[in-house]
Structure 1
């Protein structure tokens, strides 16, 4: 039993042991606390959806510096990561408050489609339109434009569709109670895919902001931007694949508490403190590549040690 429910149970027992009027008043207060606690996971999930909507809103604006020094695409990326935080804790809060439900699970997936599907796809369109659109600051490339615009729009739409399919498959699959099923995902999780695309766009904006006026800088920025749609296609296919990906948070929580486990946590944190944007992009790219790399090692007989 969670600490919250232990506290509520103690109060409920104490309330029922008093006189009728006092007990009724206390039980009413306890019920209100339970209702308030059960609403919290839903609010967190809706917070995820709002972050995705806000990311699309900022990505639609002209790419320029905001009052606090970030470009609008950087703000959009930060909102996706904030939505990722809400997505990471809403399930734990639901279990803690014993308010898990099928509606909550479906709502979580709908929010994920917005934040990790539509928003990163639109950010990709916005970035490329800035460099290759007919009037980059004013229009978004679409199917009615050039052949390249048709391809780019199709890439973004394909990524969004793969995100929806990935989440629908996750909801439809019957998950067994085996511990291994809670340590792996089938296909790249949508937050991992969305985080990969968003972090690379944020890295692009960071490097562009840190190296203004360098000769050839604009040409490099245009060339680097061309790589984002390719990454978008790769992670889209990874989402609908059957490749196994580690459930990172469960792995960390269930890992043995030793020096190596501590080092795996502390070292990335130290790197992220010094180079936050670079570390974020590297972390998501490494995670996106980890599934195929581990699949190759599992299939390679030379990587296995035969028993004597």
Structure 2
């Protein structure tokens, strides 16, 4: 085999990395729309990047194209999309009035996201196939929680811009949860009893309907459900959250 032929790589093996790059571009574009105060577009782009983040790993596993390079690229993209972009978005939307304190807590959130991703990379090889929970809030979920004040504002339930300090401390709290020892939900832990199948299907139908009618209210509900799922884990490790 000629050296040139050996250096060629099938396109399908590159596809997961191309998907990751596409998600990174969405995160960067979200920052661009944040800078011009088009907040709804910026939030939607972060949500789309979270959707793509779930796709690239799945595609890599299906194609058997997983690699250390892809894993590192995914973490770098995650930091941009779920650490930097949401932090700037929340700051620009609701924290400008608190100035220094608001920016400090944005930095706390972004740094926590970076630390969480670094810890995940180091512990990646320790994750067993049967692991049923994450340690700390994952970066995409942390971004969705950080955007809760914006969801509340867009849904009309309340205007988060009227309480910038509350929003700032919420952002800091989400950062703490990301680097905490709180056991959080993993899809591998999902077990639905037979009696719950009907309720799950009905909830799916209602959720699909709300996507097209009350999307921001749906996002508020999803965030609140996730927070409720966190509470038992927080109670379990109370007093040693960061150890």
TM-score range, shorter chain: 0.7 to 0.9
Residue correspondence of structure 1 range 169-188 to structure 2 within 5 A:
169-173=119-123, 174-179=125-130, 181=131, 183-188=132-137
Residue correspondence of structure 1 range 155-234 to structure 2 within 5 A:
155-173=105-123, 174-179=125-130, 181=131, 183-207=132-156, 222-234=161-173
1:215-257 deviation line (CA, Å, top 9, x unaligned): xx9xx5532454321221111000000000011x3344xx357
| Secondary structure of residue in 2 paired with 1:185 | strand
Out of 123, 142, 157, the residue aligned to residue 89 of structure 2 is: 123
Q: TM-score scaled by structure 1?
A: 0.67
Out of 1, 4, 11, the residue aligned to residue 36 of structure 1 is: 11
Q: TM-score scaled by structure 2?
A: 0.84
Q: Give the total of aligned pairs.
A: 230
What is the deviation of 1:285? 3.3
Matched, 1:106 2:72: yes
| Secondary structure of residue in 2 paired with 1:245 | strand
> Residues of 2 paired with 1:178 and 1:59: CA distance?
39
The structure having more radius of gyration, on CA atoms, is 1
- For the 8 Å contact 1:188–1:288, the answer to whether it is kept is no
**Using a 3 Å threshold, how does the CA distance of structure 1 residues 222 and 80 change in structure 2: closer, same or farther?**
closer
2:206 corresponds in structure 1 to 270
2:241 corresponds in structure 1 to none
> Residues of 2 paired with 1:202 and 1:101: CA distance?
36
1:55-105 deviation line (CA, Å, top 9, x unaligned): 1111111x3xxxxxxxx1111110001000110011110011111001111
- For the 8 Å contact 1:201–1:228, the answer to whether it is kept is no
What is the deviation of 1:265? 4.8
Out of 169, 175, 188, the residue aligned to residue 250 of structure 1 is: 188
Structure 2: give runs of 5+ residues left out of the alignment.
239-243
Q: Which protein has greater RCO, CA pairs closer than 8 Å, 6+ apart? A: 2
- For the 8 Å contact 2:31–2:89, the answer to whether it is kept is yes
What is the deviation of 1:166? 0.2
> Residues of 2 paired with 1:269 and 1:82: CA distance?
21
Structure 1: give runs of 5+ residues left out of the alignment.
1-27, 64-71, 133-147, 209-216, 300-308
